Structure 1
Amino acid sequence: MGEDFWMKQSFLLKIILLFLLINILNTLSFAEDTSYGTAALMVIVERETGSITVLDTSKHTLLGRVTGLGNLNHGTVKFSKDGRYAYVISKDAFVSKIDLLTLKVVKKIKGGNESIGGTISQDGKYLIMSNYSPGEVRILSSDSLENVKVISAIREYEGGRIQSSKVVGLVDAPGNLLIFSLMDSNGIWVIDAGEKDFPVINKFWDIGEKPFDGLITPDGRYYLAGFLESDWFGLLDTWEMKEVKRIPTKDINNASEKNTVPLWKIPHLKGWAIAAGLAVLPAVQREAALIYDTKEWKLIKELPLIGTALYTVASPDNRYVWVDLVGKNGDIIQVIDLKSLEVIKTFSPGKGATHPQFTSKGDTVYISLMDEDKVVVYDPSTFEKVREFSLKSPSGIFSVDRIYKFGM
């Protein structure tokens, strides 16, 4: 064999080795970028800095921070159906799509003037914004964030007067439906997101004064709206879609209903308040949790608290509900036992304690300390702190496992 043959063989060998080296480097790079999954991640809003921090709750480690996301004084986070992407919706209506494996913003758009939240459609195709200004539901492609449709939240009265309304309490529901409340015109609308033109298929009016939020039960059957100026909740059975029933919020035998306090903050309603056949809901301007039997939707107890509730969050085993308080005793968390229907623990994790969020099986619970620039992690079985993280003005805590739940 001649010298040319060996030169050709040597050149070919070099090409093969180079190809193998490139593949090895690409594999190492991919492994580095995807050295964690997304199922156990929590995204925490840093409200004063327009940023989020991402934590891996399987190891209780901080993965990184993403900045430049807009005004997050009322920021919210939604997730793609596969758990790969987070959508951060800012108060000034910026939407940032973030790759949770690289912690990079892959797309950012402006979707209005002022937004209060959003949801992901049941099929995962759409990100839907609930906007204050202009009052509307804005439907975006979850892939490209391109605008698909805008539905103005308006009510036309007899005589031709038209009332525009802020949109609150937006949830996704079975059948690829979207349900929301109209804060300024006292209505509930239902949209079919499975149809190409997104028709509003139901409108219910005069349901109560000033709806402020809404939830859908974990099974997707009942939509519940809360009101600032009416002594009831509005309950819509999505299996029937016939009427919005009034569910009283006051027990005539309980004197605490007269002891109103300032509206420190508007409470939040979420499906995590439903557990063990009960709904544990914050009372508006009263220091109490309202406990309902969800079979008959009867108020069975008004449980006194030492402050006004902001969130009522059930543990994954449905045994306990953790309640954060605002205004008086705003540093306190109270824990309700759903067996005895009593408060069994009152403690202070720190200043500005808010937004308790359980890991998926409830082995730990994360709590923001807004006034201490910390997030603390507790063992709910012992109430002992097991970890803390330094963050900048943390507030809302959003776990990726919300993608498996309606209305989250």
Structure 2
Amino acid sequence: MPRHESKAIPPFEKGGVGYRRVGASSGISLALALFERPLNPPHSPFLKGGGHVAIRWWAAPFLVAAIALFHGTAAHAAPDPEKLYDTHCLSCHAPNRLGGMGPTLLPESLARLKKPEAAKAIAEGLPATQMPPFRDILQPDEIKALSEWIYTPNTIPPKWDADDIKASRIVNAENIDLPARPVFKADPSNITLVVEHGDHHISVLDGDVMEPIHRFQTRYALHGGPKFTQDGRFIYWASRDGWITKYDLWNLKVVAEVRAGINTRNVAVSSDGNYVMVANYLPHTLVALSGKDLSLVKVIPVASRDGKTSRVSAVYDARPRNSFIAALKDIPEVWEIPYDGRPVYKGLVHDYQLKEAIPEKGPLPVRQIVLDDILDDFFFDQKYDYILGASRDKPKGQVIHLGAGRKVADLDLEGMPHLGSGITWDWTDKEGVVHPVMASPNLKDGKISVIDMKTWKTVKVIPTQGPGFFLRSHEATPYAWADVFFGKNKDVMHVIDKRTLEVVADLKPEPGKTATHVEFDRYGKYALVSLWEMEGALIVYDAKTFKEIKRLPMKRPVGKYNVWNKTRLSAGTSH
């Protein structure tokens, strides 16, 4: 930001003292000039040494007033963050903070970055993303003002439409049709991806020996987890600022990228690999892309039947139903979007063969399921017949039958259940009766709720040492692993016996540091824990003995995604 510069204003005009309104710096110049000009006669009793004295009593008030004016002006002349942005940030982050070479700088996109961390990034730079430091260019108050301003809503409603999406697409033509065989020797079905949020990279691990075979840079702040084609070859992921990437895991190459939104939640891939569906917070859209090259197929505006628009919390592939399921953030609806060509009719239809209703035109029609409450989080049963959903401000969850399109039961879920991290298994009670159950961590309370998926009743509430974020297991292990992500016990990892529904071990990988997000290898032999610190690690445990085997240094690792577990819809992980 340009510093304030005042032109020198001569304090005296010919014939006496000239009067002008002056700024703070000019006022000081005036006072200092008055000190220097020997107006008093040499014989004045107030002067010593023939008029060459450092202080002239009559000018002192001018200096005091000028200094006060200067300090008052400096204190009230707050930095202008918009001008600072235009000068120093616009070239990388684009007009209106929508993101360009650098990420989007809007509140929705910065949800996981605290303001002090943003100020630190501005001051010190981000070498991993080639962002330079600004501490030698901007003053501390300017850095503070800028870091706070980027968390304010944009005054101009941002736009990102079909033309913007098409113009943003980048295709690496040489990577479109590479050989259909891995370039590495590791078992491609036991590859695990590790997302490192600290410096925006993904590490590719050989799941048999738990060693990295490749590491590459991604877009800023991936969110929602990578999604795989059924053969495990291609992966798609989203960044918070809307960039969608298609990656060829067998050839370790980026195939294509496109920006589908301004603030994006996640992506889903159709079971046939033909479509990639993108869930956006901003704008209020779902965006369908070609699975082949990420070309635009369709932009679906998200609004209720009465026209109220909504953010999209998440979108999922319901493989057994050949459809996408979208959760809406601002209206009480769930959308089902078939991708197998079957029609969707609006309103009541007695007999489709009578052609008494006209189906929605075009590919990917929308079936709107109207609910009683908004669902902030939800979970599917293994057959994708039911949705278990929860609202942040409601004491109970609800069960939605997707076929019937209505609520069929209530769930006793207090606090803030994180159903999206739920898992399922078969539990045998004391009478030998087998119950399919679902367990969910809680973002507010220190507990895990276990629910019978036949009766929809709570079987047990397992107390934990604090609110948790992730719960994971595997078909080959009798244990589930749960983190304590929030609070003073963030360094604890619980191990729960799925047979007794009791905590049998409390692990502390690194006292005082956050341990989170377990994932298993293909065979359930290893449990992988993230030490969620900038100088963190991936910690490999023996899933039977709970003994640490090794640590792989990583930059704030968070999610791990095993190809086999994800493509086979393992009951011990999310999909």
Q: Distance in 2 between matches of 1:128 and 1:393?
A: 28
Q: TM-score, normalised by structure 1?
A: 0.82
Structure 1 residues 271 and 177, CA gap change in structure 2 (3 angstroms): farther
Of residues 460, 463, 478 in structure 2, which corresponds to 1:319? 478
**Offset, 1:42:** 0.8
Cα deviation 1:361-406 (Å, max 9, x = unaligned) = 2111111111142101111111101121111111111111212228
Q: Does 1:120 align with 2:279?
A: no
1:331 equivalent to 2:491? Answer yes
The residue number in structure 1 matching 2:296 is 147
Deviation readout 1:158-185 (Å, 9 max, x if unpaired): xxx5232333253424231111211111
Q: Are 2:183 and 1:33 equivalent residues in the alignment? A: yes
| C-alpha contact (below 8 Å) 1:40/1:57 kept by paired residues | yes
Is residue 333–residue 368 contact of structure 2 (8 Å, CA) maintained in 1? Answer: no
Residue among 392, 397, 403 paired with 2:567: 403
**Residue 81 of structure 1 corresponds to which residue in structure 2?**
230
Q: CA–CA distance in 2 between the matches of 1:273 and 1:226?
A: 17
- The corresponding residue for 2:536 is 373
Asked if residue 103 in structure 1 is aligned to residue 252 in structure 2, the reply is: yes
1:343 match: 503
Q: Call closer, same or farther: CA 1:310–1:30 in 2, change over 3 Å.
A: closer
Quote the residue 1:218 is aligned against: 382
Residue 285 of structure 1 corresponds to which residue in structure 2? 444
Q: What CA deviation, in whole Å up to 9, does each residue of 1:168-211 have, x standing for no partner?
A: 253424231111211111221111111262111242232x24x3
Corresponding residue for 1:382? 545
**Aligned-pair distance for 1:134?**
1.4
The equivalent of 2:152 in structure 1 is: none
**RMSD of aligned Cα (Å):** 2.4
CA separation in 2, counterparts of 1:284 and 1:248?
17
Out of 132, 148, 151, the position equivalent to 2:281 is 132
1:203 paired with 2:365, answer no
Tell me the amino acid that sits aligned with residue 247 of structure 1: D
Query: Higher helix share goes to which structure?
Result: 2
Aligned to 1:64: 214
Structure 2: state its 5+ residue gaps.
1-178, 342-361, 428-435
Note if contact 2:286-2:312 (Cα within 8 Å) is conserved in structure 1.
no
Q: Provide the C-alpha distance between the structure 2 equivalents of 1:335 and 1:380, rounded to a whole number of angstroms.
A: 10
> Relative to 1, partners in 2 of residues 1:222 and 1:361: Cα closer, same or farther, differing over 3 Å?
farther
Q: Is the 8 A contact 2:247 2:253 kept in 1?
A: yes
> What is the DSSP-based 3-state SS (H/G/I as helix, E as strand, rest coil) of the residue aligned with 2:423?
helix
Q: Per-residue CA shift, 1:72-105, capped at 9, x if unaligned?
A: 3x35211122211221211111111122133221
Unpaired runs of at least 5, structure 1: 1-28, 251-256
Cα-to-partner distance string for 1:214-236 (whole Å, 9 max, x where unaligned): 22222322222222111222322
Contact map agreement 1:120 1:172 (CA 8 A) in 2:
no
Within a 5 Å distance, the mapping from 1:251-290 to structure 2 comes to: 267=418, 269-270=420-421, 272-276=423-427, 277-290=436-449
Which structure is richer in relative contact order (CA contacts within 8 A, separation 6 or more)? 1
Q: Against the structure 1 CA distance between its residues 169 and 249, is the aligned structure 2 distance closer, same or farther, given a 3 Å change threshold?
A: farther
Q: Please tell me the residue identity of whatever aligns with 2:393.
A: E
1:294 and 1:31 map into 2 onto residues whose CA distance is 41
Letter in 1 for 2:518: P
Instruction: Tell me by how many angstroms 1:283 deviates.
Output: 2.9
CA change 1:120–1:170 in 2 (3 A) is: same
Any idea what SS the aligned residue of 2:523 has? coil
Cα deviation digits, residues 275-329 of structure 1 (max 9, x gap): 5411111234111111111111111212211111211212223632211122121
Query: Which of these residues, 234, 239, 245, is aligned with residue 408 of structure 2?
Result: 245
Higher normalized strand content (fraction of residues): 1
| Counterpart-to-counterpart distance in 1, 2:317 and 2:182 | 36
Cα–Cα, structure 1 residues 303 and 199, in superposed 2: closer, same or farther, change >3 Å? same
Note if contact 2:280-2:311 (Cα within 8 Å) is conserved in structure 1. no
How many percent of aligned residue pairs carry the same amino acid? 26
What amino acid is the match of 1:343? V
The CA deviation at 1:273 is 4.1
The separation in 2 between residues aligned to 1:187 and 1:242, in whole angstroms, is 10
Matched, 1:393 2:550: no
Q: Is the 8 A contact 2:181 2:250 kept in 1?
A: no
Whose radius of gyration is greater, 1 or 2? 2
1:30–1:397 CA distance, 2 compared to 1 (3 A):
closer
SS in 2 for 1:145: coil
Q: TM-score, normalised by structure 2?
A: 0.59
Does structure 1 conserve the Cα–Cα contact (< 8 Å) formed by 2:310 and 2:329? no
Moved more, 381-390 or 279-288: 279-288
8 Å CA contact 2:183–2:250 kept in 1: the answer is: yes
Match of 1:230 among 353, 375, 394: 394
